[in-house]
Amino acid sequence: MSRRIAYFFSIVSPWSFLGHARLMDLAQRHGAQVDFHPVELGPVFAETGGLPLAKRAPQRQRMRLVELQRWRLKLGLDFHIQPQHWPFNGSLADRVVLAALADGADVDVLVRRLFSGVWQRQENLAEPAVLAVLADDAGLPGAALLARAETDEIRAAYQANRELAISSDVFGAPSYVLDGEVFWGQDRLDLLDDALASGRPPFRP
């Protein structure tokens, strides 16, 4: 039986963007299943002691910009540190992913296209029409997904992801949870790789 990685992320998160392709490659190498859980980060921060970016100390905000430049260089990944249409409310984009999941779609291509839209192409994902086009680009029915993303069913699923994140000890994105052990941040992917390779039991607090 393949092992499962619970993947908590948001389209608004640059760190989720930086880790996404590497997570998918890692999972494929290990034959692991990735369970996608887009989550609204603001309420998660509020419940776990985190702060939204604008409320963080200036030193932390500056270090974030430095770290993004370091990782852009290390990964050889071309993207905008401060894209034109960011920050934005990412809840609709996240719910479009949930709508695609509810339809049984393989959402990897969609998530990659949405991440690229924000961080590389500087598209305005706050606009529903833009989201529909990006879903179409990923080979999915954009207009139908937008409509489903607004339903009570998908809103409830989004809320459930938030509750699952909190109950799983997740407090930021991306977080990868393997057998109950949380690996927080794309810079923990090597440690997740090691855990899968070794087959060790999960570490507990």
Instruction: Classify residue 204: in a domain, yes or no.
Output: no
Residue 4 three-state SS: strand
Strand 181-184 and strand 175-178: the pairing is: antiparallel
12-35 pLDDT tens trace: 999 999 999 999 999 999 999 999
69 part of a folded domain: yes
Residue 140 lies in a domain: yes
- Per the domain annotation, does 67 fall within a domain? yes
Distance CA 126, CA 44 (A): 21
Number of H helices, E strands in the chain: 9, 4
Rounded CA gap, 200 and 177, in Å? 14
CA 149/CA 64 separation, integer angstroms: 31
Q: What total of structural domains would you count in the chain?
A: 1
Query: pLDDT for 86-125, tens place per residue?
Result: 999 999 999 999 999 999 999 999 999 999 999 999 999 9
**Packing angle of the helix pair 14-30, 189-198 (nearest 10 deg):** 20
Instruction: Say whether pTM exceeds 0.85.
Output: yes
**Model pLDDT for residues 60-79, shown as the tens digit of each residue:** 999 999 999 999 999 999 99
- For residues 96 and 130, the answer to whether their CB atoms sit within 8 Å is no
Q: Is residue 99 part of a domain?
A: yes
Assigned domain for 205 exists: no
**9 part of a folded domain:** yes
pLDDT at position 1 is 74
Q: What is the CATH number of the domain that holds 97?
A: 3.40.30.10
Domain-embedded: residue 60: yes
pLDDT in tens, 39-52: 999 999 999 999 99
Q: How far apart are CA 147 and CA 151, in angstroms?
A: 7
Range of the domain at 176: 4-198
Residue the block writes with tokens 């998660």: 44
- The predicted structure's pLDDT at residue 93: 98
State whether residue 89 is helix, strand or coil. Answer: coil
